[in-house]
Amino acid sequence: MSESFEGKVAIVTGAAGGMGRAIVLAFAGAGASVVAADISENELAETARLATEAGGKVRAITTDVGSAADIQAMVKAAVDDFGGLDCAVNAAAIEIETTPLVDCDEEVFDKLVRVNLKSVFLSLKYELRVLIDQGRGGAIVNIASTNSFRPQPGQSCYTATKHGVIGLTRNAAMEAARDGIRVNAICPGAIDTPMLRGSMERKGRSIDDVTDRLSLMGRIGQPDEIAKAALWLCSDESSYTVGHALAVDGGYLAR
């Protein structure tokens, strides 16, 4: 992608590691000023350090993405520190299930909904308000999952939240398009992140155990491959792409 984000302002949630960190670094490398948000303070500081060393302008803000007050503060930081908002990638998520639905605790369901789905609702709510008020358009990308379309055993609650992310994405896209704001989603497949490795470890598996089932390419994806897709969806090069769920999954959904 050739487009520069020089002079643009971006927000990234889930910025402490994995795909979120890769997206922060990609935006910073393309010239954007970035508000990087996450609840994991030490890892978030490392993301900010890496982005700053690469020449980026980054404001790290410790954020509980399930808190409306924290999300409002995150969006306000973009406006106060960098002068506005142009794009956002809502990437915060967890995956903590290990059991079938009948054995899943209510607390697990509630936590997954709060982090994976409520966070996207809140982020969209306050990001869209700023973008609409500015009157110059913009782009938002929500990180969904291939689980949004194809469930996995032992992931009923996670799958439900990721179905919900697609629903929020499409409804927000329908409501915001006339204001020149494009809302889309990315559905990552198996990506080499701490979250995936942690999930595999809890289930007593290794990455090699699932690679052939989850990819047509003989490998799992890398976080920067999601970051490149996110930047494309936030750029003018995807100017007619609205309400779309882009699978970046090594062909998994094509099986």
Q: CATH number, domain at 175?
A: 3.40.50.720
Beta sheet of 87-90, edge-to-edge order: 57-62, 33-38, 9-13, 87-90, 138-143, 181-188, 245-248
**Phi/psi at 183 (5° precision):** -115, 125
132, part of any domain: yes
Domain that holds residue 180: 9-189+228-247
Residue 81 pLDDT > 80? yes
What's the mean pLDDT in 146-165?
A: 96
Domain count, the chain: 1
94, part of any domain: yes
203, part of any domain: no
When pLDDT is cut at 50, 70 and 90, the band that residue 128 belongs to is very high
Give dist(CA 200, CA 214) in Å, integer. 13
When pLDDT is cut at 50, 70 and 90, the band that residue 111 belongs to is very high
Residue 1 pLDDT > 70? no
Residue 2 pLDDT > 80? no
Catalytically active residues are 158
Residue 62 pLDDT > 70? yes
206, part of any domain: no
What's the mean pLDDT in 200-216?
A: 84
- How much is the pLDDT for 159? 97
212, part of any domain: no
Across the chain, mean pLDDT equals: 95
Structure tokens at 26: 């990609």
142, part of any domain: yes
Give dist(CA 78, CA 133) in Å, integer. 14
Residue 255 pLDDT > 90? no
195, part of any domain: no
- How much is the pLDDT for 195? 84
Q: What is the DSSP letter of 224?
A: H
252, part of any domain: no
